[in-house]
A and B are shown apart, each in its own frame.
Chain A
């Protein structure tokens, strides 16, 4: 099975940088996803890591260490619209679909 841990809540200031950590234990690993979910809305894809290292995509970066079972999402130049829940998710590829399991999510509040 999968066990995924994230901090429950974080607060950061507009314009700052915030790092959201995720640790996982999984039987079978085919990559780690980060999704953003605004209240009452669907999750939207942010990033995917399957190899160790940093993936950068604009203001968002994601890091993976497979040996440590650890990932983080880095958000730079925070904006008020970044207030949302951030979901770390792992997936053991099962052939033809992704059996994605989500962590508990980190609720990020950006304050002025």
Chain B
């Protein structure tokens, strides 16, 4: 199994809603990542978990709350988002070695109304 699975594929939410994005991998990877990608822009790193501990938070607003309940799962909890948060949210995972590539999920296309 060489897949990173993200759900849902599409999400529309209002600015007062609370929703969660989910990511799962069964490759035994101990590093997991959240990226945000706006249209025609490259992915931007948001959070990194290594061995289930938050290692990087790239100054992301607190309305985004990551969670890594175990080594296979990564969640992104969303609350009180703004329309400018509309984007493709990509989850990725990797081994923890020196030159390991990232495996990306197909993403969740989020629209905030």
Contacts and interface: CB of A to CB of B under 8 A. Distances in A.
Nearest to A44: B104
Most buried by B among A31, A44, A100: A100
A42 B104 contact: yes
Interface centre among B42, B45, B99, B106 (most CB of A within 10 A): B42
B107 A98 contact: no
A100 B102 contact: yes
B50 A50 contact: no
Interface of B: 4, 30-31, 33, 41-45, 48-51, 55-56, 90, 94, 96, 98-107
A33 B4 CA distance: 19
A97 B55 contact: yes
Contacts of B106: 41-42
Contact of A96 (B33, B55, B103): B55
Given A42-B106, A97-B96, A104-B41, 17 more contacts: A33-B101, A33-B102, A42-B105, A45-B101, A48-B99, A93-B99, A94-B55, A96-B30, A96-B31, A96-B51, A98-B31, A98-B100, A98-B102, A99-B45, A100-B45, A102-B44, A103-B42
B23 to A, nearest CB: 12
Contacts of B107: 42
